[in-house]
Structure 1
């Protein structure tokens, strides 16, 4: 017992130290935990003497991770994904799996191992991507919304992959088909049970338990483990049981509270899972597979983004959006590692296969972090080469003939919609430029003059008759885009009042220094607006109901268009 306590203590201490270094180097913590496993594992320091016990602890991490995925992956989120992200997610997984499978088979892998590895290469890390996009304040941008929606689709497909692959169980031929059908039947049964519990048992039970925090936490974890055990007993994986347990609790009003309480437990145990993965890395076994490691890593880093860009090209998106979304799939996911761990446990893949995918994860997660962080700079460098990923615009501004003294608005999402409405109310002619095909389709349906394109595309700028405009407004908050817009106007000698948008005080100051007529600073304006609105609400209580009703109506209107 003392030895086991010492092992766990050392694992946590070393993982923490490496995690601090990773944070300082601005690297994902997953890499630090895998490295801790490599250092403490049998192939280096050999401190891990009881791998079975530690591996059991890591299973708790997987179960809690999937429990939280189910808890947070409710039907409202799935409905809000939107068709573009849905088609993109399915298309990317399909094409990456097929191409990846062919490449892996060329390296001599058997069919089952090739299928596991190919599927593992399709999934990207939602946790890492959302964190990076959030740091860049890009979650609500067009490419951010497309990427997050696509990743939600991937998460859902990853769960399906865990269900289906668990049914292989080393069967072949006709037995394989029977095994998969039996697994689907068992999955259907357990889904029905989860639904029934969610509908008629859990609401009443948890409404009583919610009065005590510790009971709510224990009941939630117990439900996750109970369902995991049940799934395991009927021949499914414990991961599926944990996911369905979370999904059954998702409709409850306490789901956010449960999620918040369990995240700490999940983070602790999932750390042990990544340490175990690192400890199982067999570098000597990879010796004869360096070519596969390099080729498959390049496939994820370059091939995955190209697949996404081609799909988005087909859907009509501009090259900038396609490129930035493509960068978000240039790494594999924690789901990829869980999938390989499941395959190893079932005897479907070898330790070498697991080591190969883990190393691909280390390489691609590290490099793709820099890709996404410096995405805008990479786009500017590669932009001349990316025209092949953009269909020629079929949308022409037929209303531009004779257009003068109008207002050119770049970007309709968020601020743009309100600005256009306000300008139309005072009788101003408006031309909108946007690179979101959904926004353009809506504008056309409303009869609003619009152009599909990028604000710094010189051809697009000329089509807006910007030299005859009375005002230019950019709702794009990316400082480099706004600086380039003002530079393009200055070079062409176009003197027109230019309003641009900034997310930070620093950016606002730089835009003013560059010659902006006015900088729209949403946080400042929102504070001023709400201050005035709050004063009116306090003076007239009925105003709250009026404003709330108006707000809800507008939200429903926007939701219906997504």
Structure 2
């Protein structure tokens, strides 16, 4: 690659970016506020702005040649120019409306892009192209581990979630293909290298669904290596078998967040005798601030639950739905907990009607389905509306739910 050409291309991108930023700060925002009353005009205005930026970008060389009599190879491709145009209006209040209306057109052209991509995949001229593609695919996967994993980990995400997220981000992005096409068009990249990039994209696209499903298993395989490198999981707890909890919440998501807030408001004593078990260590400090006891724990690991002293808990609530649990489901979790705490009251949840009885058979004392609870409340709200007492109903429910405009839950 010609480093000089690449440098001039980046300079062109920088200049175009400065142009769009200045325009956005000076008059684009005001213009969109003026035309926002008509949704169709908002869409047309966004498309017009996109084409203006694209026109300026692709004609940078012509502008400089007219001004200085020399081409500096700073023209920006339509794809990159359109990206810059979109970024410049991303903060507009009407951006959501624009995205909604453009999405249909976007999907159509993305489909055409992949059709063109498939047609353009060349026959490898030599084995070197395939070897380089495999190397690029491996490097892309490793780069996620070397960049994203430490970033997630040191941002407060626990070891497992950081690793799983890094594995699931393995695919080379479509934007990389756009860059490759622009590179070969401008002479920055050779056709053979572009072919390798395309094949690497195909390899990672085929591998990513498999890696996505096996992400937790992959974490289990490389966890010892991560710990040797200093990326420690939260320390294992000593047995807490003598501690007695009135309530234990297994997992901490939206249901548990709202429940813990209510407890801290109207029953702080129960909150102080509540155990929360969750693997998201980034939330532990906020959970502990409510007065509850919080410990790291993988719900799929019965040994962890045993050491936490669940056998002495009086009421145990499985708060995570099956579509968010990994390595276990509510039925299996209830079965494990029932063997561990035969005298406890176990409350679990289900996401499908036909799963309710199975969870009961596993040992649950009560199984709730969120949409059933919502339907129960809606039915009473409807009856209150028909009986002209909806205001009283609202006040009662808001009082019972501890609703207030400034209510601050851990997971808002």
TM-score bin, normalised by smaller chain: 0.7 to 0.9
Query: 1:249, CA displacement in angstroms?
Result: 4.1
Query: 1:487, CA displacement in angstroms?
Result: 3.7
Q: Is the 8 A contact 2:32 2:42 kept in 1?
A: no
Q: Is the 8 A contact 1:455 1:461 kept in 2?
A: yes
1:348 is aligned to: 188
Cα distance in 2, alignment partners of residues 549 and 500 from structure 1:
23
The structure with the larger Rg is 2
5+ residue gaps in structure 2? 61-74
Query: 1:293, CA displacement in angstroms?
Result: 1.9
Structure 2 counterpart SS, 1:477: coil
Q: String of CA shifts for 1:329-376, please: whole Å, max 9, x gaps.
A: 12111111111112122211122222211111122112212332x34x
2:403 is aligned to: 550
Residue 221 (1) aligns with residue 221 (2): no
Q: String of CA shifts for 1:199-243, please: whole Å, max 9, x gaps.
A: 222211343x43xx4x55444322321221123223333334323
Residue 334 (1) aligns with residue 177 (2): no
Q: Is the 8 A contact 1:318 1:453 kept in 2?
A: no
Residue 231 (1) aligns with residue 57 (2): yes
Cα distance in 2, alignment partners of residues 462 and 542 from structure 1:
46
Q: CA 1:230–1:358 in 2, change beyond 3 Å: closer, same or farther? A: same
5+ residue gaps in structure 1? 1-109, 113-167
Residue 474 (1) aligns with residue 318 (2): yes
Residue 465 (1) aligns with residue 291 (2): no
Q: String of CA shifts for 1:241-285, please: whole Å, max 9, x gaps.
A: 323433444445543333232222222222222222222222233
**TM alignment of 1:17-416, pairs within 5 A:** 169-171=5-7, 180=10, 183-207=13-37, 209-210=38-39, 213=40, 215-234=41-60, 235-285=75-125, 287-301=127-141, 304-305=144-145, 308-315=148-155, 317-372=157-212, 374-375=213-214, 379=216, 383=220, 385-389=222-226, 391-394=232-235, 403-416=243-256
Query: 1:325, CA displacement in angstroms?
Result: 1.3
Q: CA 1:181–1:242 in 2, change beyond 3 Å: closer, same or farther? A: closer
Q: CA 1:401–1:536 in 2, change beyond 3 Å: closer, same or farther? A: farther
Residue 453 (1) aligns with residue 297 (2): yes
Structure 2 counterpart SS, 1:500: strand
1:436 is aligned to: 280
1:539 is aligned to: 389
Structure 2 counterpart SS, 1:553: coil
Cα distance in 1, alignment partners of residues 374 and 126 from structure 2:
56
Query: 1:539, CA displacement in angstroms?
Result: 1.9
Q: Is the 8 A contact 1:410 1:474 kept in 2?
A: yes
Q: Is the 8 A contact 1:305 1:329 kept in 2?
A: no
TM-score (normalizing by structure 2): 0.78
Q: Is the 8 A contact 1:198 1:248 kept in 2?
A: no
Cα distance in 2, alignment partners of residues 527 and 306 from structure 1:
47
Q: String of CA shifts for 1:90-130, please: whole Å, max 9, x gaps.
A: xxxxxxxxxxxxxxxxxxxx586xxxxxxxxxxxxxxxxxx
Cα distance in 2, alignment partners of residues 549 and 242 from structure 1:
47
The more displaced of 470-479 and 424-433 is 424-433
Q: CA 1:371–1:254 in 2, change beyond 3 Å: closer, same or farther? A: same
Q: CA 1:302–1:495 in 2, change beyond 3 Å: closer, same or farther? A: farther
Cα distance in 1, alignment partners of residues 369 and 354 from structure 2:
11
Q: Is the 8 A contact 1:456 1:484 kept in 2?
A: no
Q: Is the 8 A contact 1:282 1:355 kept in 2?
A: yes
Cα distance in 2, alignment partners of residues 286 and 524 from structure 1:
62
Structure 1 counterpart SS, 2:253: coil
1:101 is aligned to: none
1:520 is aligned to: 368
Q: String of CA shifts for 1:291-342, please: whole Å, max 9, x gaps.
A: 2222322333466357544554455544542343123212111111111112
Q: Is the 8 A contact 2:12 2:76 kept in 1?
A: no
Query: 1:385, CA displacement in angstroms?
Result: 4.9
Higher relative contact order (CA 8 A, sep 6+): 1
